[in-house]
Structure 1
């Protein structure tokens, strides 16, 4: 069955490359609506209520994956098909690259209004006052972070735990986007979702950073410089995971990331990562190219780990 899981991961990644995300009826969107409905019933300004919400949502998704895996226990082709479908549903690499390319094209033609209107597809920052370099910075940072969240991490958890890992991880990451941010409403209720997402991304974020360092030449960068920036700046970000990805991309691209981020009037000051100028439209295109190579490498590694029992066991948390 390990070979079936590996084949499913490869087929799902290929489906994402060809078809990207479905425009209607996306399983992640359906999960989001279910999680929001449960939130309306459970919400209280309480960490305990938030933990219950996170456990029910993420646990339910993982149990659904476990049921699908149990039903295909003795049918390798069915297991491969179920794994492929789940992988396609949870990956977002192709859509991420397309969003980055759209932002780059808008900035190249100096259409700041179009870029501002599109940025919310990538991140939650208020784009209303962002100039071209800040729009480019937000895009590069989002591409870097989401290369881990939407590509590498699902593949890692698919290699470790199969379909339950794929669905469970995507549920955790979606919950973090929904309730894990720092706001008066979610400071307590979203605490468990945010911490769970941090834990789930510890390994994938560091793998993403390592692959970005190795792939730096495809973006015109140097692995040595990318590694130096990663080691110097990766830990300075308030997120234990996003900083590693962003620092590695900053080093590979030779740009400076970080600064003040406006989340609907809530200003967060992020430390500078990397050296050089703020990024521009051309740097977005280089970031997208780097993200694609990182995704391809992660796909190959995940399939190899899933197919080889020793590698699969070695990747399991102690």
Structure 2
């Protein structure tokens, strides 16, 4: 019996366990930090270009980075497979899965995400300014005029949105394309986080923003459904609420979180999700963390089984 189709599911399990136990690797060794440094080499120059040149240059830089990252990840994964090929049975499977899981881990960031969101509530317990300052580490919006409820809302929205970006989507692409899939997704997501804005980045960051939209489209909906759980009556509401955000993807996990927790989640002047819901109060961030953990585990299990099925393990 060939056990190697199970290397990807077991690698996912290893990555999640390592994440839970130790969190993020040091920044100097973190590949996502390296992705950001690569993109940062070109950021200032891109903003000086005319719109058409900025659009072309941004797309070319994105493709150069994505292709190089994909090739490197493919070489690493292939080398592991060949290195453990002489080892038959469980020894080869576990050895390959362990090392592949360690390579996958930096593409995931569940523990850091949950810890950072939880820190917002702890900061609010000290003072509203402390809560605002802690939230400012997580979001790009101005936090200076937010009240305590709005601070909690923004933290919960960040948890829901990044559950997809930092966990479900990398695992989804790992399921489909192995380590290259997860690495290219995280590069695309990093590029969107750095360049995918309107205003001065309207043209230079357009390719990065659209690429992230495409790569996140299905994972975001998986994340939303996992957060919603087995609640068929809420499906219609999820569809309607998810369409209220400017992003084609972020509304799905955020709306699902709002509906399940019966909370109102909003970005002032941009959108309001589940307007009839209650304002976020003390204890709601902890509720959101618990729900997100359940959704993450359910999604991970489904994607592990999917990875095995795609490779003939089921």
TM-score range, shorter chain: 0.7 to 0.9
In structure 1, stretches of 5+ residues that fail to align are 216-222, 261-267, 313-318
Q: Match of 1:212?
A: 227
Q: Match of 1:19?
A: 22
TM-score (norm 2): 0.88
Is contact 2:255–2:273 with CA below 8 Å preserved after alignment? no
TM-score (norm 1): 0.87
> What SS is found at the alignment partner of 2:242?
helix
> What SS is found at the alignment partner of 2:255?
helix
Q: Deviations along 1:244-302, whole A, 9 cap, x unmatched?
A: 11110000010111242xxxxxxx52243353222123111111111111111122112
> Given the alignment, which residue of 213, 216, 228 partners 1:201?
216
Is contact 1:229–1:274 with CA below 8 Å preserved after alignment? no
Q: Match of 2:264?
A: 256
Q: Match of 2:235?
A: 227
Larger radius of gyration: 2
CA distance, structure 2, for counterparts of residue 310 and residue 90 of structure 1: 22
Q: Match of 1:164?
A: 180
> Is 1:297 matched up with 2:298?
yes
Task: Quote how far apart the aligned CAs of 1:241 are.
Answer: 0.5
Task: Quote how far apart the aligned CAs of 1:42 are.
Answer: 5.7
> What SS is found at the alignment partner of 2:271?
strand
In structure 2, stretches of 5+ residues that fail to align are 85-92
> Given the alignment, which residue of 48, 57, 63 partners 2:56?
48
Q: Deviations along 1:92-146, whole A, 9 cap, x unmatched?
A: 1111111111112222x25112211111332111211111011011101111100
Is contact 2:264–2:272 with CA below 8 Å preserved after alignment? no
Task: Quote how far apart the aligned CAs of 1:171 are.
Answer: 0.4
CA distance, structure 2, for counterparts of residue 190 and residue 84 of structure 1: 32
Task: Quote how far apart the aligned CAs of 1:234 are.
Answer: 1.2
CA distance, structure 2, for counterparts of residue 227 and residue 17 of structure 1: 31
Q: Deviations along 1:175-224, whole A, 9 cap, x unmatched?
A: 1001012221x100100000000000111000001111117xxxxxxx35
Is contact 2:258–2:273 with CA below 8 Å preserved after alignment? no
CA distance, structure 2, for counterparts of residue 229 and residue 155 of structure 1: 27
Q: Aligned pair in 2 of structure 1 residues 189, 39: CA closer, same or farther (>3 Å)?
A: same
Q: Match of 2:279?
A: 278
CA distance, structure 2, for counterparts of residue 230 and residue 98 of structure 1: 27
Stretches of 4+ moved more than 4 A in 1?
Answer: 40-43
> Given the alignment, which residue of 215, 223, 246 partners 1:238?
246
> Is 1:91 matched up with 2:108?
yes
CA distance, structure 2, for counterparts of residue 307 and residue 68 of structure 1: 20
> Given the alignment, which residue of 6, 30, 42 partners 1:3?
6
Task: Quote how far apart the aligned CAs of 1:39 are.
Answer: 3.8
CA distance, structure 2, for counterparts of residue 40 and residue 238 of structure 1: 26
Q: Match of 1:155?
A: 171
Q: Deviations along 1:14-60, whole A, 9 cap, x unmatched?
A: 11111111343222112211221144566634211111111112222
